[in-house]
Chain A
Amino acid sequence: MPTPATAGAAYVRRASGPILPPPLLSRGAIAWARANLFSSPLSSAITLALVAFGLWALPPLIAWATTRAVWSAPDGALCRAHQDGACWAFIAHKLDYLRYGSYPIAERWRVNAVEIVGAALIGWMLWPGVPRRGLGAVLFFVSFPIFAFALLHGVEGVGLPVVDTLLWGGVFVSLATALVGIVFSLPLGVLLALGRRSGLPIVRAMSVVFIEFVRGVPFITVLYMANNMLPLFLPPGWVPDRFIPPLVGTALFSAAYLAEEVRGGLQSLDKGQSEGAMALGLGYWRMTGLVVLPQALTRVIPGIVNIFIGLFKDTTLVAIVAMVDFLAAMDNAFKDTTWGGPTILPTGYFFAALFYFVFCYGMSRYSAAMERRRAVGRAG
């Protein structure tokens, strides 16, 4: 019997009522569609209009990229004959150049080795549940950069001929720039964020000046400045490799943005967390490393990944200081007159867009998965 509604009446429940499942109408695909796609006449109209637009726009694009495309050809003649489809033969023909640039063909295994080891270490470090992820992170952040540099650049006298960075190009230059940017900008950004909240006035002032200055300048300006001003800070006669300044510029630029993101995470943390740690006798660095940062950083994973995605796409700008990244390699490939034709540029840029999208979307999905994992771990 339900609770009586009589005003002023006393009531004592004698037996517990049953625990019931929700009504069927609120579940299932049809109920979902009715609630989300056709909840009102306007909603229904918008749903139908968008479906119609998709049917109109997508099939031609898919046909252009697949059924009408030229998949293999010795040169551009076939592509010039089929102007209503993509020219994948061009990409296939230029794929090695797009991946390695002018890196000597006999030495390209070195690039492959670095890419494979790097991918394995990233997998080890980022995959939840893999044992000893900390060791993976140490290898990736400390050992891998040295290994990668030695292998890519070469070491005299151990059978690894030096490959001048003038010859580097293509995908691995883009990946290397992005990775160096990420590996150096994250620790630097964290230090800047801590510095900006420091109780030491000089540390704080220096952090603020650095962050505000680098953030207040366009990335291209930072690149030009790194290129032209870095030698001024080095001992006379010490000329950095032309590859170094853009990497420094990329890392510094991202670090300034990361610092502000991390600062947001630090500020969102309740003061009780640091007080709890201090009361236990943890000093500043242990409190920061064991209690504050683990919480602050996980809170701002979406923002950090956002900056990394931006960094990855911004690597295309290093071309202006004469580095041949993937997009620049694509532009170089367009200059091959045997492949001239109206479908070459659309195909090339479509492929480049796919390349960047795959990496950025991957980062985005990883970040989303981490957030879900974290939400599950906490709520219980």
Chain B
Amino acid sequence: MRGVGPMAADEMNAIEFVDVHKWYGSFHVLRAINLTVARGERIVVCGPSGSGKSTLIRCVNRLEEHQRGTIRVDGVELTNDLRRIDEVRREVGMVFQQFNLFPHLTILENCTLAPIWVRKTPKREAEELAMKLLTRVKIPEQAHKYPGQLSGGQQQRVAIARALCMNPKIMLFDEPTSALDPEMVREVLDAMTALAQDGMTMVVVTHEMGFARKVADRVAFMDEGEIVEINAPAEFFGAPQHERTKLFLSQILR
């Protein structure tokens, strides 16, 4: 199992991409990706649309398959072995742009579904944990409503709580605020900031540069399927090195 044998050196890192390539048909969407995310590290990935940043983050829990190179998550290498994929997915929470809450279940049921069926947590215990996490994202009073009755910002906070109910080691955020009305972005970013302060390992694809500046340990810039530049936020925003980074920043920071 994990934590023994020659893999031990990799145990230091939460996520490792080693020379990862991916193609959609003949389109080379990820090109020679090398990226290591340490435990407890917060990385923000940004870049123009179509740059492959969502594909990159979706490779971490195998919603997308890579075709070349190695991805290790929490020391487990991702292959076609379904059992290993499920093992990784249990430890990696994901928050989507479109929330992807289950509309036929209440908020509480959304949060307890996976703990009960995957972790085999007793129902009572799962509900207590869910209420604790719903309180943490400041919406315990919505527990018995359905997702369709909540605002976008509330739904996205439920999605964060739902992922946390599995007690994950790593959290992935795929443009979590892009589908929200402007007045709801703040509440979701606040929940994410609180999570970062608790020491969660996070990979966040976002255009919220204020969040990146404040929360990220490193910011990665992707373009045309490549990681063009990675740096600490102060250097990344203050003194970008690559021409494409400079151009991108000049376009989004007015």
Q: Which residues of A contact B (CB under 8 A)?
A: 270, 272-273, 275-283, 286, 290-291, 294-295, 298, 377-380
B7 within 8 A of A: no
* Per-position 1/0 for B86-113, Cβ under 8 A of A: 1001101110101111111000000001
Stretch from B16-24, B123-131, B142-150, B198-206 at the A interface: B142-150
What chain A residues lie within 8 Å of B113 (beta carbons)? 280, 282, 290-291
Q: Which of A276, A290, A294, A379 contacts B101 (CB 8 A)?
A: A276
In the assembled complex, how far is the CB of residue B73 from the closest CB belonging to chain A, in whole angstroms? 13
CB pair A294–B104 under 8 Å, yes or no, is: yes
Q: List 12 A-B contacts (CB under 8 A).
A: A276-B101, A278-B63, A278-B89, A279-B61, A280-B114, A280-B162, A282-B113, A283-B86, A286-B117, A295-B103, A380-B145, A380-B149
A270 to B99, CA, bound (A): 12
What chain A residues lie within 8 Å of B15 (beta carbons)? none
Q: How many residues of chain B have a CB within 8 Å of chain A?
A: 28
CB pair B96–A275 under 8 Å, yes or no, is: yes
CB pair A379–B148 under 8 Å, yes or no, is: yes
B118 within 8 A of A: yes
CB pair B96–A380 under 8 Å, yes or no, is: no
Given contacts A275-B63, A281-B166, A282-B118, 8 further A-B contacts (CB under 8 A): A270-B98, A272-B99, A272-B100, A279-B61, A279-B89, A280-B163, A281-B118, A286-B117
CB pair B104–A272 under 8 Å, yes or no, is: no
Residue of chain B at shortest CB distance from A284: B82
In the complex, chain B residues 24-81 whose Cβ is within 8 Å of any chain A Cβ: 61, 63
Residue of chain A at shortest CB distance from B83: A283
What chain B residues lie within 8 Å of A275 (beta carbons)? 63, 96, 100
CB pair A279–B93 under 8 Å, yes or no, is: yes
In the assembled complex, how far is the CB of residue A129 from the closest CB belonging to chain B, in whole angstroms? 16
CB pair B118–A286 under 8 Å, yes or no, is: yes
A378 to B147, CA, bound (A): 8
What chain A residues lie within 8 Å of B92 (beta carbons)? 279
CB pair A380–B63 under 8 Å, yes or no, is: no
CB pair A280–B96 under 8 Å, yes or no, is: no
What chain B residues lie within 8 Å of A291 (beta carbons)? 102, 113
* Per-position 1/0 for B162-174, Cβ under 8 A of A: 1100100000000
Residue of chain B at shortest CB distance from A298: B104
CB pair B118–A280 under 8 Å, yes or no, is: yes
What chain B residues lie within 8 Å of A290 (beta carbons)? 113, 117
What chain A residues lie within 8 Å of B101 (beta carbons)? 276
CB pair A272–B96 under 8 Å, yes or no, is: yes
What chain B residues lie within 8 Å of A277 (beta carbons)? 102
In the assembled complex, how far is the CB of residue B149 from the closest CB belonging to chain A, in whole angstroms? 4
Q: Which of A270, A272, A281 contacts B89 (CB 8 A)?
A: A281
What chain A residues lie within 8 Å of B102 (beta carbons)? 273, 276-277, 291, 295
A128 to B48, CA, bound (A): 50
Residue of chain A at shortest CB distance from B97: A272
In the assembled complex, how far is the CB of residue A366 from the closest CB belonging to chain B, in whole angstroms? 19
CB pair B89–A276 under 8 Å, yes or no, is: no
Residue of chain B at shortest CB distance from A292: B102
A89 to B244, CA, bound (A): 92
In the assembled complex, how far is the CB of residue B60 from the closest CB belonging to chain A, in whole angstroms? 10
In the assembled complex, how far is the CB of residue B161 from the closest CB belonging to chain A, in whole angstroms? 12
A273 to B113, CA, bound (A): 13
